[in-house]
Structure 1
Amino acid sequence: MKEGPDIAQIGALIGDPARANMLTALMGGKALTATELAGAGGVTLQTASAHLAKLEAGQLLVQRKQGRHRYFALADESVGKLLESIMGFAAGRGHLRHRPGPKEPALRKARICYDHLAGDYGVRMLDSLVARGAIDAVGDGLALTPAGESQLQPMGIDVSDLRSSRRPLCRSCLDWSERRAHLAGSLGKALLSSFFEKGWAHRTAGSRSVVFSPEGERQFLALFPAVS
């Protein structure tokens, strides 16, 4: 018997087209019902239930009960990071499931990756934070600097509260469309949440795309200038 992690089992779980579509639908960070996921997977509710049971047993999903309803979500941030990396790998080698359509530019510009900002704007934000010394980037690792903590305070980001979480403060996540890193971790989540709370941006129903208002876009681009 071969030793080591069983990547074949994880590959088989993700590799089924219906399950892959269900997992992608959950990349938006929202918990969805079995009926909603059946629609995303293009299968019947009975078939979806069987797929969801396998994904839950493989620890890719968690089930949450609220009253008489059951909701499913990605097990944790690491699952989202894994899926985003696989999507980047596939896109980089031309393995695309459909021709680019109207939704493609919006997704590439700004979208949710589990619970943080991805796409061109996500990469731009991390590049800007690194360029001004707010975040140190060493290899694949990211660390918030003392200067960065001071810069985040006027934005209403309570770093001390984020540090109390068991979740990593800063994490690098490979962006599938930009093929470069964007900011994940509790800080990435806090920044995206602040954009929503300020009214700078909103989610698009039925999509992972994030749409910035004209004023929100102006504020975002001024706060995170492009790095030449």
Structure 2
Amino acid sequence: MTAWDPARARRLLPPVEEAAEHTKLWRAAAVILAAAGGWRGRRAATAGIAAMAAAELLSNGVAKQLVERRRPPKEWVPDDEVEDRPYSSSFPSGHTAAAVAFSAAVAPTWPLAGAACALPAALVAVRRVHSGAHYSSDVAAGAALGLVAAALARATPHLLISASTRSGPGEHRAPALGWKITQTRPALLHQRRRPHGLTPPLLRAPTGRSETALAGVFHGFALPRPPLLGASG
């Protein structure tokens, strides 16, 4: 593709690539979306910026540090393009990752705007190969990372909302065993009730010394002492 050099490509591709340097093109698109698109535009711009940041982190901060790949040979590149190539790893294409991430994150919220952003994103990807800055596989890997970053940017708010809903303010965070015991305690007490008319031994008035001592022990607990049903008024 580096040998493909029609006049239209020379006029169109370099300005698009220059606009995409340092994400200037996508930041400008985000400002336009937020200013002219209302709530939908602001939502799309936020998703696009978040996805683009994630794509740059994945491509430049992670993938390029893990994979060291030299740029295409200088013989493949026109003389005026050789000095403009960066010295970092060729794999993957960070420009393509950012462009695809922004476009893919905008499209679900505003399909028309996403389609409009996809055109310059495709031109950026073609230009990175045409200028000899990347191999075609570098651009393909960058596009894949851009799609992953867009999916993460779109899914993260929903995950955070779900997590906050499951653990809202004031929720009881007792361990599972203690919570189960707390919940079943009324049922256990209900099961221990005696039929009407039958008085358990501890509920009768203490008549002897041993029963008086046992009643004193029972009274030492934090629970309230039950009424002495057998005592006369």
Q: TM-score when scaled to structure 2?
A: 0.22
Is the strand fraction higher in 1 or 2?
1
Highest RCO, 1 vs 2 (Cα 8 Å, sep ≥ 6)? 2
**Higher-helix-fraction structure:** 2
